[in-house]
A and B are shown apart, each in its own frame.
Chain A
């Protein structure tokens, strides 16, 4: 009895002492620390996800990956497609109270375009497809950007999350020597505290100039509704789930598919699913002695039961798609959603014609990303049913990425991060192997079509070009596109307004806590 009483007293003491969650604090799980606070420079997906709360660019992406105005009131494009004029919105202020001017935009863009900055997207704005030649400021409220030739990608590059949305920050974000200090942006939240290895805390920007309407993607109305947002670093998946259930976090933005049935069954929790714009694939090395024969590659594709594979790997959460353009994109067409049926007899026949004599194919994969490994296991099993032997080579992620970049593989289970323009969805695996060994599809005719899509401004003409490329992809099979994954966010009852979206990292604006 005494022991029980002591235990109860200890429990009460512990419960009382456990730090209570403040009503104005929204706590979100983050699976690893951020790399820096410098938008688009030293970055990864988590870093981008913090940056987009703090800084904004001239334009931003909507939910469907189309481009909307953000700091720009509108975007005027000259008839020749070479001059973009961005009148700035009135009333926008930086977190230090200074008003946004065109000089701030020019200052930030000049830093981005300097080689030593190492901005991720400098090469994209200095390429054959898109070359930014000048940033001009005719007056305080107007920015003019000039291109060498028309580009369908220009605005998307400016809006891309991995480019830090070409975020505009105040010059006081830099130290006197020009090095990065901390972001002073115009976003709905300002940087509070970054405790490395533990959390990143943001505080509400009271003078945030919100756009009217609804939030969409990284655009639209981004009004902050909580005083503080804390991104808590929890690397372990099981611990994250436990933290959500125990009430130690308010948003689990990336729940595992396998945890969903349990979380759905718990009263008071909501699951928010949204199709992502990444792409899970099987890559094939078209220079491999066996796989250089298109019949062998077709045989492999026909041996796969793609709907069954996707159902097994995503636990029914994603839909199969043989197109690199994700179903959520405005450029995805019904033809791209067609998935050819499995045909084992045809697969065997084609393999035989290609001279396949039972050699073991080698499929590289990793356990770092669960889906890659599971895809490889299911592919191996399905190939066996078609009489095609294979073995898995399970590598640590850095090693697999190295092999990918050198093109040193026969087959590889691989995932591409979200590309938010359809040209980039094809570009990520198309190109000359001589200069870019990582590219899976080396076909000059297709490359010419791809270049055309990058210069073409008319959406209808672009769409038909993509359909033609999709048809070629199905014929030549340098990769087997499988599906775009689905992001599952989970929140308890007291969190309202949260939505998952096409990019994995969460958005804290528009979210409130109601207890």
Chain B
């Protein structure tokens, strides 16, 4: 197992290098000068040249890339050219906020959507199934920023149950922190519930049609045992793949939700950095997101055998 993990991690290195090179050069193809953005419309050519030099942007692109790569290999992601902060700690700090919300939201979504989807599949064509499919379609159709704003207006503004803006860490005050992240978690969970209900339902329907389920039923195995022992574990495997993709995607930043709820997360950091052409931050965040994707996919692969022993055998 350890060897397998090590192999997978080593295999990820070329991917990460490719991401690093692509992000570095593609960002520089986009028009826009960070020095000009810092200095604004009143900037003189001399001031822009001075600032570019102090940012290290006056060197050739290959030299800039080589310098960044050598820093990277030493574990240093550099410093933000707008705020001067070290990029590594900045990313970890912001990732903590995003991860807390995403993990909670996805956990809630999985706990609610997977059983709902499976039950809907079991009772396919019933009112319950129609209700589950309709709910999933509705939740999938609602843009997350709109849903977030509506929740904010109802529970923050009209009812006053939770604060509309702000953020407190769990370390500071767990109870207050919960109030600040309640609505973002709810928004994200609702959106993901839509996706997961459909996936769980579809994969369960597929499994329920297989011969071995018919065989089990013909043998007189009780229906509850057919579902819990034979159908659901097999149906969950494709859903797990989707959960992995969703997690990887969301852990890379939920910029829209972070903006609506004013959360200092990874997504907002990346969007702000792109607007400011803060190259070291963009490069660092993109690399980190790639690493998260690789790690989440690896974790999902390692979980597969739990639900499908054939994978372990292979």
Residues of A within 8 A of B (CB): 10-11, 14-15, 17-19, 32-33, 35-36, 42-44, 115-116, 118, 120, 122-123, 162, 196-199, 232-236, 238-240, 242-243, 245-246, 248-249, 368, 396-399, 401-405, 414, 416-417, 419, 428, 435-436, 438
The residues of A that contact B22 with a CB separation of less than 8 Å are: none
Cross-chain contact A397 with B259 (CB below 8 angstroms): no
Q: In the complex, which of the residues A17, A118, A197, A242 contacts B50, with contact meaning CB atoms closer than 8 Å?
A: A118
Cross-chain contact A242 with B164 (CB below 8 angstroms): yes
| 21 intermolecular pairs with C-beta atoms under 8 Å apart | A18-B176, A33-B83, A44-B40, A123-B47, A196-B93, A197-B269, A198-B264, A239-B164, A242-B152, A246-B156, A246-B164, A248-B164, A248-B166, A396-B32, A398-B32, A401-B32, A401-B37, A402-B32, A404-B41, A428-B41, A436-B44
- Residue B82 at the A interface, CB < 8 A? yes
Q: A116-B54, A118-B54, A398-B31 are in contact. Are A246 and B157 (CB under 8 A)?
A: yes
Cross-chain contact B82 with A42 (CB below 8 angstroms): yes
In the complex, what distance in Å separates the CA atom of A397 from the CA atom of B156? 32
In the complex, what distance in Å separates the CA atom of A234 from the CA atom of B152? 14
In the complex, what distance in Å separates the CA atom of A240 from the CA atom of B165? 8
The residues of B that contact A399 with a CB separation of less than 8 Å are: 30-32
The residues of A that contact B85 with a CB separation of less than 8 Å are: 196
Cross-chain contact B149 with A239 (CB below 8 angstroms): yes
The residues of B that contact A436 with a CB separation of less than 8 Å are: 44-45
The residues of B that contact A14 with a CB separation of less than 8 Å are: 161-162, 179
Cross-chain contact A236 with B50 (CB below 8 angstroms): no
Scan residues 108-163 of chain B and give those whose CB is less than 8 A from a CB of chain A: 149, 152-153, 156-157, 159-163
The residues of A that contact B40 with a CB separation of less than 8 Å are: 44, 162, 417
Cross-chain contact A405 with B33 (CB below 8 angstroms): yes
The residues of A that contact B153 with a CB separation of less than 8 Å are: 242
In the complex, what distance in Å separates the CA atom of A436 from the CA atom of B49? 13
Chain B 11-54 interface mask (CB, 8 Å, partner A; 1/0): 00000000000000000001111001111111111111011001
Cross-chain contact A245 with B157 (CB below 8 angstroms): yes
The residues of A that contact B33 with a CB separation of less than 8 Å are: 398, 401-402, 405
Cross-chain contact A402 with B262 (CB below 8 angstroms): no
- Residue B236 at the A interface, CB < 8 A? no
The residues of A that contact B160 with a CB separation of less than 8 Å are: 15, 18, 246
A153 → B minimal CB distance (Å) = 13
Q: In the complex, which of the residues A33, A397, A402 contacts B275, with contact meaning CB atoms closer than 8 Å?
A: A397
- CB-nearest residue of chain B relative to A438? B41
The residues of A that contact B149 with a CB separation of less than 8 Å are: 238-239, 242
Cross-chain contact A36 with B36 (CB below 8 angstroms): no
3 A-B pairs with the lowest CB-CB distances in the bound complex, closest first = A197-B264, A398-B32, A14-B161
In the complex, what distance in Å separates the CA atom of A121 from the CA atom of B217? 82
Cross-chain contact A17 with B176 (CB below 8 angstroms): yes
- CB-nearest residue of chain B relative to A119? B47
The residues of A that contact B277 with a CB separation of less than 8 Å are: 398
Q: In the complex, which of the residues A35, A116, A402 contacts B36, with contact meaning CB atoms closer than 8 Å?
A: A402
The residues of B that contact A243 with a CB separation of less than 8 Å are: 164-165
Cross-chain contact B41 with A19 (CB below 8 angstroms): no
In the complex, what distance in Å separates the CA atom of A403 from the CA atom of B32? 8
- CB-nearest residue of chain A relative to B182? A14
Which of B83, B84, B165, B176 has the largest count of A CB atoms less than 10 A from its CB?
Answer: B165
In the complex, what distance in Å separates the CA atom of A219 from the CA atom of B176? 39
Cross-chain contact B168 with A19 (CB below 8 angstroms): yes
In the complex, what distance in Å separates the CA atom of A122 from the CA atom of B50? 11
- Residue B268 at the A interface, CB < 8 A? yes
Q: In the complex, which of the residues A197, A198, A235, A416 contacts B41, with contact meaning CB atoms closer than 8 Å?
A: A416
Chain B 176-199 interface mask (CB, 8 Å, partner A; 1/0): 100100000000000000000000
Residues of B within 8 A of A (CB): 30-33, 36-48, 50-51, 54, 82-85, 90, 93-94, 149, 152-153, 156-157, 159-168, 175-176, 179, 259-262, 264, 268-269, 272, 275-277
In the complex, what distance in Å separates the CA atom of A90 from the CA atom of B307? 78
Cross-chain contact A198 with B167 (CB below 8 angstroms): yes
Cross-chain contact A17 with B179 (CB below 8 angstroms): yes
Which of B36, B39, B90, B166 has the largest count of A CB atoms less than 10 A from its CB?
Answer: B166
Q: In the complex, which of the residues B32, B156, B179 contacts A242, with contact meaning CB atoms closer than 8 Å?
A: B156
The residues of A that contact B161 with a CB separation of less than 8 Å are: 10-11, 14-15, 18
Cross-chain contact A197 with B94 (CB below 8 angstroms): yes
A185 → B minimal CB distance (Å) = 20
The residues of B that contact A199 with a CB separation of less than 8 Å are: 166
Cross-chain contact B37 with A398 (CB below 8 angstroms): yes
In the complex, what distance in Å separates the CA atom of A396 from the CA atom of B276? 11
In the complex, what distance in Å separates the CA atom of A172 from the CA atom of B33? 33
Q: A198-B264, A246-B160 are in contact. Are A42 and B31 (CB under 8 A)?
A: no
The residues of B that contact A11 with a CB separation of less than 8 Å are: 159, 161
Cross-chain contact B163 with A248 (CB below 8 angstroms): yes
A18 → B minimal CB distance (Å) = 5
B254 → A minimal CB distance (Å) = 14
Given A234-B165, A436-B44: 17 more A-B contacts, CB < 8 Å: A14-B162, A15-B161, A17-B176, A18-B160, A19-B168, A36-B83, A36-B84, A42-B82, A120-B39, A162-B42, A196-B264, A232-B166, A235-B259, A239-B149, A242-B165, A402-B33, A417-B40
The residues of B that contact A17 with a CB separation of less than 8 Å are: 175-176, 179
The residues of B that contact A398 with a CB separation of less than 8 Å are: 30-33, 36-37, 275-277
Which of B40, B82, B90, B179 has the largest count of A CB atoms less than 10 A from its CB?
Answer: B40
The residues of B that contact A118 with a CB separation of less than 8 Å are: 47, 50-51, 54
The residues of B that contact A33 with a CB separation of less than 8 Å are: 83, 272
A479 → B minimal CB distance (Å) = 13
In the complex, what distance in Å separates the CA atom of A236 from the CA atom of B163? 15
The residues of B that contact A35 with a CB separation of less than 8 Å are: 38, 82-83
In the complex, what distance in Å separates the CA atom of A11 from the CA atom of B162? 9
The residues of B that contact A402 with a CB separation of less than 8 Å are: 31-33, 36
Cross-chain contact B44 with A248 (CB below 8 angstroms): no
In the complex, what distance in Å separates the CA atom of A118 from the CA atom of B152? 42
In the complex, what distance in Å separates the CA atom of A397 from the CA atom of B274? 11
Cross-chain contact A18 with B163 (CB below 8 angstroms): yes
The residues of A that contact B176 with a CB separation of less than 8 Å are: 17-19
Cross-chain contact A401 with B83 (CB below 8 angstroms): no
In the complex, what distance in Å separates the CA atom of A414 from the CA atom of B43? 15
The residues of B that contact A18 with a CB separation of less than 8 Å are: 160-163, 176, 179
The residues of B that contact A435 with a CB separation of less than 8 Å are: 45
A210 → B minimal CB distance (Å) = 31
The residues of A that contact B175 with a CB separation of less than 8 Å are: 17
Cross-chain contact B156 with A236 (CB below 8 angstroms): no
- CB-nearest residue of chain A relative to B145? A236
In the complex, what distance in Å separates the CA atom of A438 from the CA atom of B93? 39
A497 → B minimal CB distance (Å) = 23
The residues of A that contact B276 with a CB separation of less than 8 Å are: 398
Cross-chain contact B163 with A19 (CB below 8 angstroms): yes
B87 → A minimal CB distance (Å) = 13
The residues of B that contact A19 with a CB separation of less than 8 Å are: 163, 166, 168, 176, 179
The residues of A that contact B30 with a CB separation of less than 8 Å are: 398-399
The residues of A that contact B32 with a CB separation of less than 8 Å are: 396, 398-399, 401-402
The residues of B that contact A232 with a CB separation of less than 8 Å are: 165-166, 262
The residues of B that contact A235 with a CB separation of less than 8 Å are: 259, 262, 268
- CB-nearest residue of chain A relative to B271? A235
Cross-chain contact A239 with B41 (CB below 8 angstroms): no
